[in-house]
Amino acid sequence: STTESTVAVETLDDVPEHVLRGLPEDVRLFPSAVDKTRLGVWATKSILKGKKFGPFVGDKKKRSQV
């Protein structure tokens, strides 16, 4: 007997609007290269070392919470 599991795939519809609005101009969300069921953060062009962007919008989490 084979067991089929349904794996939920994260899509842009799952991302809160404030997150999408807060992305820098050259940063996009696309399927992750690490986990195909999740979205990953991708740069559409090189980001110079030391480049700052923000502000951070959302709830800050402790490392143990993520």
Which candidate, 48, 35, 41, 39, places its Cα nearest to that of 22? 41
- Amino acid symbol at 42: W
pLDDT per position as a tens digit, 4-63: 667 889 999 999 888 888 888 889 999 999 999 999 999 999 988 988 877 766 788 888
Q: In terms of C-beta density within 10 A (0-12 exposed, 13-18 middle, 19 or more buried), how is residue 31 classed?
A: middle
Q: Residue written as tokens 């067991």?
A: 3
Q: How confident is the model at residue 60, as a pLDDT?
A: 83
